[in-house]
Amino acid sequence: MSEINYQPIFDYIDEHVDGQIKQLRTEIATKADIERILQAIDAFTKESKDNSTETVVLKAKTERMEHWVIKAAEKTDIPYNP
């Protein structure tokens, strides 16, 4: 029985496959990377909700002010065209 030389296979794996695996490992997102992304999404969502709430509040204030401007225009006979 003759011995089979597996060394060329191991050499090929060391030279080609290991390098590709190492490269893939550097490209894969880590848990910390994903957590940072999720934190950024959470911060953006909170900011978006805050902006939406602020817009609603400002709209209500503007409508109240316009209501008073219309009443003042009527009492002073100054035309107001919104």
- The domain ranges of the chain are 7-76
Distance CA 57, CA 63 (A): 10
Distance CA 46, CA 38 (A): 12
Q: Quick check: 1 pLDDT over 60?
A: no
Backbone φ and ψ for 29, nearest 5 degrees, come out as -70, 140
CA angle 39–40–43, rounded 5-degree value:
85
C-alpha pair distances (Å), 41 with each of 32, 38, 46, 49, 50: 14, 5, 9, 12, 14
Quote the pTM value: 0.51
Average pLDDT over residues 60-73: 94
Split at pLDDT 50, 70, 90, the class of 21 is confident
